[in-house]
Chain A
Amino acid sequence: MGKTIAEKIFAAHLRDEPFEGTRVLSLDRVLCHEITTPVAIADLVWRDKDRVYDRDKIKVVIDHVTPSKDSKTAMQAKILRDWAHRHEIPDFFDVGRNGVCHAIFPEKGFIRPGFTVIMGDSHTCTHGAFGAFAAGVGTTDLEVGILKGVCAFREPASIRININGTLPSGVVAKDVILHVISHLGVNGATDRILEFRGPVVEAMSMEARMTLCNMAIEAGGTCGICMPDMTTVNYLWPFIQNEFGTKQAALAEYSKWISDDAARYDKVLDFDVSGLSPQVTFGYKPDCVKPVAEMAGTRVDQVYIGTCTNGRIEDLREAAAVLKGKKVADSVRGIVSPATPKIFSDALEEGIIQIFMDAGFCVTNPTCGACLGMSNGVLAEDEVCASTSNRNFNGRMGKGGMVHLMSPATAAATAVTGSITDARSL
């Protein structure tokens, strides 16, 4: 019988099966940020177990609120910083070198095909783009991960999502995943792994695959996952060339993490995206999705471009292509947060930052920022934000605020007109 990629990764990392149906896996990566990790650290100290299982496998960043905005967030950062220094964790990213966790860790080459990855952050599923099993967990799982290097999961049932056809020009990964979630519903993939397959995914860049996998959790999925291929090898090449010598050798090695043809799926869903148009959310759940055309003219107060979903260089290029030579509407506040220092630097070099600034955008440092209403860019009561982020819960960006999720191009077009707009119409 064939195996899915998730089953292969589970089998290769199985540490223990304490009860039928429970798999305790060895972890290749435990990722940490300053919101969910400090309580785990405090508990380890309290238990007199202030240890880490492997300082090289633990990667740490301050990203949700950075630079710290007040005494409390300064203390969170300090707890994390002191802990990282105390244990001499080599990969710790502080102010000036920090970026959004799900953008900076892949960018540093930390995620590889076949890896097991956890983090105290629901969008950890992003890392599945590399053919890794990557799951968001709570602080207690994180704590056990830090101390013992293990995490428990149920048996890995998968849903195969075939994305067929050809994406029309101006329609991108964000539109695809919003469309898929609208079909699955917010709990359509609970306890399932979403395996993204098909010619459209094969043609996608790593950045676009990360966007797909990032939102798997919005359908309840444990992880989104893509098959490793030459695109994966090319992305990772700067980090793996000494290990493999040739790209073909790397591809041959990584190919063992591809689902078998005879693998069994909980469900197989086919989507033909050839006729897909740009998509946008309209309610307080990420499965409330409509074509942009049906929401055109909806007034917004703020536009936010960035986040772990769409703050990568491709996303900024896509938005800048729309914004070039245009201005943000008088009624709109435009905010852009390049997701990492490298992305910021590349965007500077390519003239993208200038385009944003000329259009009237506020450019912030790399941070999760406005996405979750903890830092800058919080909405006032009854305000509306067009955002490239992944979650539109009621009050997400501030009590009483409304968030519409969309692609960077749609967000840029919306910034220009002041209301939800199909970028292709500008």
Chain B
Amino acid sequence: MSSKKIFGGLAIVLDRADINTDEIIPAKYLTEVTKEALTPFILEDLKLDGFDPNGEKLKNATVIITRENFGCGSSREHAPWVFEVNGVHTVIAESYARIFRQNMFNCGMLAIELPKEDIEQILALESAGDIQVNVDLPGQKINASVGSKSLDLDFEISPFDKALVEAGGWVEFADARY
């Protein structure tokens, strides 16, 4: 079920800590048995001033930039899936809940963790317009830019998680190895 994933692109900022899996995809939609059926319900219940789950900004975004403990709560992989089917293959956060973070890598997607100061720097760009993110996975670098303002940052990723992204996910990795 994996499709060609593009890391980087136009970002949307979700400037709040502890955004949970119920906010990303409410439980009432967990009755779906395909990823595609989740598409319209992305971030439907997110409580965040100024955020519109039906807005153009989210529709065009392929990157989410956010705060600490992103994806806390449920084990539902529907949370990364609803991002995947909406073309969001990269999340950049101060920190993640463990299961969500692993689910992202298991789906061959990127959950980049950056220190608070780096996130602050990226968010500071936003006043000038929409943030464009470029990801260099082999080099473990990202570039965030708005117009002529540009920021280069390094990120850490465990060799295992990197291998999962490169393999296209855990099923492919495990299938080849075990």
Contact = CB atoms under 8 A, between A and B. Distances in A.
Contacts of B159: 19-22
Interface in A130-155: 136-141, 143-144, 147-148, 150, 152, 154
A191 B22 CA distance: 21
B14 to A, nearest CB: 15
Given A152-B170, A399-B26, A136 B75 contact: yes
Contact of B75 (A70, A120, A285): A120
A315 B156 CA distance: 45
Nearest to A189: B98
Contact of B33 (A22, A75, A119, A393): A75
Given A19-B158, A19-B163, A122-B74, A220 B97 contact: yes
A372 B45 CA distance: 14
B62 interface: no
A18 B98 contact: no
A191 B102 CA distance: 11
B56 interface: no
Interface string B14-57: 00001010110011101111110000000001010000000000
A301 interface: no
A148 B74 CA distance: 24
A182 to B, nearest CB: 14
A221 to B, nearest CB: 9
Contacts of B169: 140
Interface stretch (A40-48, A330-338, A341-349, A414-422): A40-48
B170 A144 contact: yes
Contacts of A138: 75-77, 80, 99, 102-103, 106
A141 B102 contact: yes
Contact of A122 (B35, B75, B174): B75
Interface string B67-106: 0110011111100100000000000000111110011001
Say which size band chain B's interface belongs to. 35 or more
Interface string A48-67: 01000000000000001100
B175 interface: yes
B160 A150 contact: no
A210 B131 CA distance: 46
A372 B27 contact: yes
Contact of B23 (A64, A150, A393): A393
B4 interface: no
A187 B30 contact: no
Contact of A190 (B47, B69, B76, B106): B69
A295 interface: no
Q: Which of B75, B80, B106, B159 has the largest number of chain A CB atoms within 10 A?
A: B75
Given A190-B95, A220-B69, A373-B28, A393 B22 contact: yes
A64 B76 CA distance: 13
B174 A150 contact: yes
A220 B77 contact: no
Interface of A: 15-16, 18-22, 24, 35-36, 38-39, 42-43, 46-47, 49, 64-65, 70, 72-73, 75-76, 79, 119-122, 124, 136-141, 143-144, 147-148, 150, 152, 154, 186-187, 190-191, 220, 222, 284-285, 372-374, 391, 393-396, 399
Interface of B: 1, 18, 20, 22-23, 26-28, 30-35, 45, 47, 68-69, 72-77, 80, 95-99, 102-103, 106-107, 158-160, 163, 169-171, 174-175, 177-178
